[in-house]
Every structure is written in C-alpha cells, then in structure tokens.
Amino acid sequence: EVQLVQSGAEVKKPGESLKISCKGSGYSFTNYWIGWVRQMPGKGLEWMGIIYPGDSDTRYSPSFQGQVTISADKSISTAYLQWSSLKASDTAMYYCARRSATTEWFDPWGQGTLVTVSS
C-alpha cells in the first residue's frame, strides 16, 4: 500500500524554526514528486511547492518562495518542509501528497501536520 506518514503536531513561538516531515512507503520514493499544500484554519487548499526526491529538483509557488524550504532525504524516503523563522500567520495544517507519475494531480495524501504558532 502506498502511504505517506507525516510527523506530529507542533506548537511553536514566533521566530522559532521548524522542520516537519513526510515519509513515503510502499513505492519507489525517488521516482515520484512530492508536493506540499497549506490549509489555514477554516480555509481552502494552497499549493506550496514540489520536490523530486531522485535529484532534489524543487519548484516553489511564488507565494511561498523564500518563506519555506522544501527538501528530501532519499536514503530514508522522507520529504521535509521547513521554516527558519515562524510567524503567527504560518498557523495551518500542512499536507504532503504524492504527484501522479505523469502529471500534476496528487494521490495519496499524508494525514497532515498541524502547526500552531503562538506567543
């Protein structure tokens, strides 16, 4: 079974750094792009960016470029989303999802990681 399992919920203060993870299993992790999607409380879905773990080729949405860093460690089949300095406005649920083999839709999705940033 193809599965993405994300790290647990985080509570952080403004200005702190954070790295959340997404571990793939049940398929060849290096051969599929992994995307990240933000969902702010009560709001819709926003695409943040995507990484190809095979060579770490990464693309960002202009809205998130410079705000986050997407990376991957293919040796442990894990993708990451990180912040160097969190803001209260980063409070959201973050999902990773596997891109299809041929084009830009996503299945399956991870269960989500809730990030809460509050002083």
Which residue number, 17 or 100, has a Cβ lying nearer to other proteins? 100
Site string for other proteins, 25-64 (x = CB under 8 A): ----------x-x------xxxx--x--------x-xxx-
- Distance between CA 31 and CA 52 in Å, rounded? 7
Which residue number, 10 or 64, has a Cβ lying nearer to other proteins? 64
Q: Which phi and psi angles does 40 have, rounded to 5°?
A: -75, 160
Q: Please, which residues have CB within 8 angstroms of residue 69's CB and are 6 or more apart in sequence?
A: 80, 81, 82, 83, 84
- Distance between CA 65 and CA 48 in Å, rounded? 8
Residue 107 as a binder of other proteins (CB under 8 A): the answer is yes
CA-closest candidate to residue 22, choices 97, 79, 98: 79
Residue 7 as a binder of other proteins (CB under 8 A): the answer is no
Closest approach of Cβ 109 to other proteins, in Å? Answer: 4
- Torsion angle in degrees (nearest 10) through CA of 11, 13, 19, 23: 10
Site string for other proteins, 64-103 (x = CB under 8 A): -------------------------------x-x--x--x
- Which residues make up the interface to other proteins (CB under 8 A)? 35, 37, 44-47, 50, 59, 61-63, 95, 97, 100, 103-112
